[in-house]
Structure 1
Amino acid sequence: MSVEYFTRILKPMLEGAEMTVLLFIIAIAISVPLGFLLTLAVKSSYRPVAWLAHTYIYVMRGTPLLLQLLVICFGLPMIPGVGEYLVLDRFTAACLGFILNYAAYFAEIFRGGLLAIDKGQYEASQVLGLNKWQTMTRIILPQMFRVVLPTVSNEAITLIKDTALLYAVAVPELLHFAQTAVNRDFTIVPFFIAGAIYLLMTLLLTVFFKGLERRFKFE
């Protein structure tokens, strides 16, 4: 493989990687707080809200992300009567699919984190005269964050790899440009380059989260 060929195929693949990173940032920025809201809904004393949250999480975690993307991209516009109002451009539809799916996973992660907090922490907060808001923000959430951080890290790495599913809904991301180059040039070199780019992105994420873990004294 010549340097010229490498340079020629690297540019569009890096453009595809920009789309991958953009989707990751949007999905992680919205699905994390949405997941926490779902966790609060699951713990709600109002049963219809808790039931709806449980059902949503079960459905989103129990069906493939690819199927959800296909439904949002191609299925919603086919709904009689309202389909014409549900037509989204592919990237927006993909973002919506990733957000809805990963919010369900983060909800379960946060629920597990809350369950890991000893009940004595709540009792001690009451003794100190803290209200529910102060107890949650000053006592519970910091401890929960420390508990769930390693799992959130793993889920974030999974998310960056799952962005390859954009290829299935015709969004021009990293894998799309790699496949185009393979079909055009009859060589698997672009796949190795794509793999190297994915590895670099996951490495950067790993280093970032390891830094957070050290900051919160996991190591």
Structure 2
Amino acid sequence: MATSVMLQKLGEGMVTSLWIFAVTLIFSLPLGLLISFGRMSKNKIISTIFKLYISVMRGTPLMLQLMVIYFGPFYVLGVQISQSWKNMAVAIGFVLNYAAYFAEIYRGGIESMPQGQYEAAKILGYTKAQTFIRIILPQVIKRILPAITNETITLVKDTSLAFTIGVTEMFTMAKALASGQVSMLPYAFAALFYYILNLVVAFIMERIEKKMNYYR
């Protein structure tokens, strides 16, 4: 197989990997914030429910979660699995899993804020919502950026787990090409892709972190 054809096929897998990466970040970051609110709720029932959710998501393999979500409708409800359900199952699985990790990162950042800032904002006439959005959240984001960066880099590599339910992303395509050609070249190109994407992620997050230095 010509190198150009191999790169074209790897490019198709790369698009899928980037799609999984983008969808997961777009939805799991805000969802994680909402889950962290539930986890910190003063209502014991609500906080326990979210604590259990986080525990399950973090305590079981993402690969297993993807399989449960994908095969669940068939085994539990007897619903036939369609081809389009694969992509939906991958999106749901990744978002729910990473939202749990981001929730704990958010919680750690929020709970690390000095109580005096809340009291000062109250004296100045800020509502609880205004205090959180204008004062607390920007500082929390600054504090948790390194942890968010680590999870984002992990996400780049975890996109390869989509092969579990037959989604042809970058790693799956590289594996198929390497097997067909009896060559390590597809793996080398795949490794280069993951490395470059992680460099880009690290660069962007570093720039954001520098811009957030105002909140020291």
Shared fold, TM over 0.5: yes
Q: TM-score, normalised by structure 1?
A: 0.93
Mark the CA change 1:50 to 1:83 in structure 2 (over 3 Å): closer, same or farther.
farther
Instruction: Give 1:91 deviation, angstroms.
Output: 1.1
Q: Does 1:196 align with 2:192?
A: yes
Residues in 1 aligned to 2:144 and 2:80: alpha-carbon distance in whole angstroms: 38
Match of 2:138 in 1: 142
Q: Does 1:24 align with 2:21?
A: yes
Mark the CA change 1:37 to 1:86 in structure 2 (over 3 Å): closer, same or farther.
farther
Residues in 1 aligned to 2:72 and 2:124: alpha-carbon distance in whole angstroms: 54
Of 36, 39, 44, the match for 2:41: 44
Give the secondary structure class of the aligned counterpart of 2:38. helix
Of 164, 168, 173, the match for 2:169: 173
Instruction: Give 1:5 deviation, angstroms.
Output: 2.7
Residues in 2 aligned to 1:136 and 1:123: alpha-carbon distance in whole angstroms: 12
**Cα deviations by residue, 1:59-118 (Å, 9 ceiling, x for unpaired):** 100001011011111233201xx3418866111101100001000000000000001111
- Tell me if structure 1 keeps the 8 A contact 2:105–2:148: yes
Q: TM-score, normalised by structure 2?
A: 0.94
Letter paired with 2:79: E
Residues in 1 aligned to 2:61 and 2:126: alpha-carbon distance in whole angstroms: 43
Match of 2:181 in 1: 185
Give the secondary structure class of the aligned counterpart of 2:126. coil
Instruction: Could you tell me which runs of 5 or more consecutive residues in structure 1 were left unpaired when the two chains were aligned.
Output: none
Match of 1:53 in 2: 50
After the TM superposition, which of the residue ranges 38-47 and 101-110 deviates more from structure 2? 38-47
Matches of residues 64-213 of structure 1 in structure 2 within 5 Å?
64-79=61-76, 82-84=77-79, 89-213=85-209
Moved over 4 A (4+): 85-88
Residues in 1 aligned to 2:28 and 2:22: alpha-carbon distance in whole angstroms: 10
Letter paired with 1:212: I
Residues in 1 aligned to 2:34 and 2:153: alpha-carbon distance in whole angstroms: 22
Residues in 2 aligned to 1:91 and 1:103: alpha-carbon distance in whole angstroms: 18
Mark the CA change 1:49 to 1:85 in structure 2 (over 3 Å): closer, same or farther.
farther
**Cα deviations by residue, 1:108-140 (Å, 9 ceiling, x for unpaired):** 000000011111111111111111111111111
Q: Among all aligned residue pairs of Structure 1 and Structure 2, give the percentage whose two residues are the same amino acid.
A: 36
Instruction: Could you tell me which runs of 5 or more consecutive residues in structure 2 were left unpaired when the two chains were aligned.
Output: none
Residues in 2 aligned to 1:59 and 1:93: alpha-carbon distance in whole angstroms: 18
Letter paired with 2:152: A
Cα root mean square deviation, aligned: 1.7
Residues in 2 aligned to 1:170 and 1:84: alpha-carbon distance in whole angstroms: 18
Instruction: Give 1:209 deviation, angstroms.
Output: 0.5
